[in-house]
């Protein structure tokens, strides 16, 4: 019985290994087939277009694709041909076969038209090749050294982007090299968000849908890295694609010098909207780096209430608690229930990164205690805030600083209190803001506060 079981196990293992070998061989064969079917756009441009008899009728100038449609891989909708001195458009239904370096037509009779760009169409060589692209999977800005086309049933589609240096060198070589695909480092098109000036000719709702599909899953820090790497026009285009709230989150993660340049490059109305969406302390830091004239140009375009708040924050000196604090505070009173406070806290969900406690004040606005989110979470819904205030009193009063407290002193108090934030109070012990541990780190160590770990590892 034991010998039979061992033989059965060996036979089963052998069968699995054989099946795996067959699968790997099929996969390798399929990979070679895909590789041999790829057509280099760089090698195609300038190549001949021949009819069924093999006679040359023109040369490829560019390839037109519907870049911002619903398809995962953009279909080729036609070619721009040079026939004599004339540039004309050849629709895709006349294309018979796209080879490496040349195109064969489906029929001897072709309909040549003047080219008129339709919604979502892009000239691949002019608008995408050698332009900046965002690799969403790798979270980096790169440049298209080549684009690869592939036949798919009855049409040709754009399937990938080559971003390797050898491909750039290939394009500088003889014509016979240029048409030969070298897909050593190719990004799947579905992992790419393009930036091309002419892409905006498509309807905005199509362009935005396609771009957000690729970019929506990136974290604010990743978007910040991308914004810092993009050129001026490309990053303004990316900002236009993003909702103001999401764009503001990314701006808060940018290096100060890069953020300063971005705000100067943007249209004043758009820059003012972005600053208005930022958290108060981050917006103050951004405005502080601008000239007085530039600050006023943005503040005058913001809602009066928000502009007045930022002007007040700007009166605090840099390097002090007031200069680094946020004025976003969630307050509670003794006669409220825990459930009521939680409901008010839920309304501030979009500011979750700026809130780590709830301030309890008396009827005159003076500080009673600082309730951590943990203490609030474990308390009973029906319990009055007064009970929680009385229980927290045994641990002593909360640690506070004044607006003119130097940041090193505030840091010492934060460490001594083993807290994640400190309340900033006025001379009447009324809370006016909160300085968070990460903001304190950013202010004291500007060159190390915002570490972009992805870049560091690269």
Q: What is the pLDDT of residues 68-84, one digit of tens each?
A: 777 888 899 999 998 88
Name the least confident of 62-76, 135-149, 332-346, 425-439.
Answer: 135-149
Select from 350, 46, 354, 77 the least CA-distant residue to 174: 46
Mean pLDDT across 403-432: 90
The per-residue pLDDT for 171 is 63
Mean pLDDT across 376-405: 91
Given a cut of 90, is residue 342 above it in pLDDT? Answer: yes
Q: Is 34 exposed, middle or buried (0-12, 13-18, 19+ CB in 10 A)?
A: middle
Q: Tell me which range, 61-75, 136-150, 299-313, is most confidently predicted by mean pLDDT.
A: 299-313
Q: DSSP labels for 295-331? A: HHHHHTTS-HHHHHHHHHHHTSPTTBHHHH-B----E
Task: Determine the Cα–Cα distance for residues 300 and 296; give it in Å rounded to an integer.
Answer: 6
Q: Which residue has the higher pLDDT, 374 or 9?
A: 374
The per-residue pLDDT for 138 is 66
Quickly state the pLDDT bin for 400 (edges 50, 70, 90): very high
Is 0.85 surpassed by the pTM of this model? Answer: no
Task: Determine the Cα–Cα distance for residues 327 and 424; give it in Å rounded to an integer.
Answer: 9
Given a cut of 50, is residue 449 above it in pLDDT? Answer: no
| Maximum CA extent, the chain | 96
Task: Determine the Cα–Cα distance for residues 412 and 227; give it in Å rounded to an integer.
Answer: 35
CB atoms within 10 A of CB 308: 12
Mean pLDDT across 33-46: 76
The per-residue pLDDT for 182 is 63
Contact predicate 71/53, CB 8 Å = no
Q: Where are the beta strands (DSSP E) in 197-312?
A: none
Mean pLDDT across 311-324: 89
The per-residue pLDDT for 133 is 79
Select from 355, 388, 385 the least CA-distant residue to 373: 355
pLDDT digits (tens, 9 = 90+) for 181-231: 666 667 788 877 776 544 444 444 444 444 555 666 778 888 888 888 887
């Amino acid at each position: 019985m034991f010998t039979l079981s061992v033989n059965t196990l060996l036979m089963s293992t052998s069968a699995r290994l054989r099946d795996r070998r067959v699968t790997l061989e099929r996969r390798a064969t399929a990979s070679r087939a895909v590789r041999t079917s790829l057509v280099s756009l760089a090698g195609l441009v300038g190549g001949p277009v021949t009819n069924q008899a093999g006679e040359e009728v023109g040369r490829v100038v560019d390839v037109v694709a519907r870049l911002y449609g619903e398809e995962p891989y953009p279909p080729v909708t036609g070619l721009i041909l040079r026939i004599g001195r004339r540039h004309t458009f050849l629709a895709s239904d006349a294309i018979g076969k796209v080879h490496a370096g040349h195109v064969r037509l489906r029929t001897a009779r072709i309909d040549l038209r003047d080219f008129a760009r339709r919604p979502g169409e892009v000239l691949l060589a002019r608008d995408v090749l050698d332009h900046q692209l965002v690799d969403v999977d790798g979270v980096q800005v790169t440049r298209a050294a080549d684009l690869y086309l592939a036949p798919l049933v009855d049409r040709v589609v754009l399937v990938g982007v080559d971003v390797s240096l050898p491909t750039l060198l290939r394009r500088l070589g003889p014509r016979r090299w240029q048409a030969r695909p070298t897909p050593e480092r190719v990004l799947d098109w579905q992992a790419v968000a393009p930036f091309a000036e002419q892409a905006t000719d498509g309807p905005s709702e199509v362009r935005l849908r396609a771009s957000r599909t690729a970019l929506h899953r990136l974290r604010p820090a990743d978007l910040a890295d991308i914004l810092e790497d993009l050129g001026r026009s490309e990053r303004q285009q990316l900002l236009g694609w993003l909702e103001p709230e999401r764009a503001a989150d990314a701006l808060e993660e940018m290096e100060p010098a890069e953020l300063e340049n971005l705000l100067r490059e943007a249209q004043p109305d758009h820059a003012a909207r972005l600053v208005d969406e930022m958290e108060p302390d981050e917006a103050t830091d951004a405005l502080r780096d601008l000239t007085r004239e530039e600050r006023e140009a943005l503040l005058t375009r913001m809602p009066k209430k928000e502009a007045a708040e930022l002007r007040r924050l700007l009166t605090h000196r840099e390097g002090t608690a007031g200069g680094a604090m946020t004025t976003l505070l969630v307050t509670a009173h003794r006669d409220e229930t825990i459930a009521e406070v939680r409901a008010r806290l839920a309304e501030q969900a979009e500011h979750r990164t700026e809130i780590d406690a709830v301030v309890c004040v008396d009827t005159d606005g003076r500080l009673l205690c600082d309730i951590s989110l943990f203490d609030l979470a474990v308390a009973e819904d029906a319990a009055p805030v007064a009970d929680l205030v009385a229980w927290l009193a045994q641990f002593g009063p909360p640690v506070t600083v004044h607006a003119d407290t130097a940041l090193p002193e505030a840091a010492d108090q934060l460490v001594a209190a083993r807290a994640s934030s400190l309340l900033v109070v006025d001379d009447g012990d009324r809370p006016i803001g909160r300085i968070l541990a990460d903001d304190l780190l950013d202010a004291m160590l500007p060159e190390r506060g915002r570490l972009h770990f992805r870049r560091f590892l690269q």
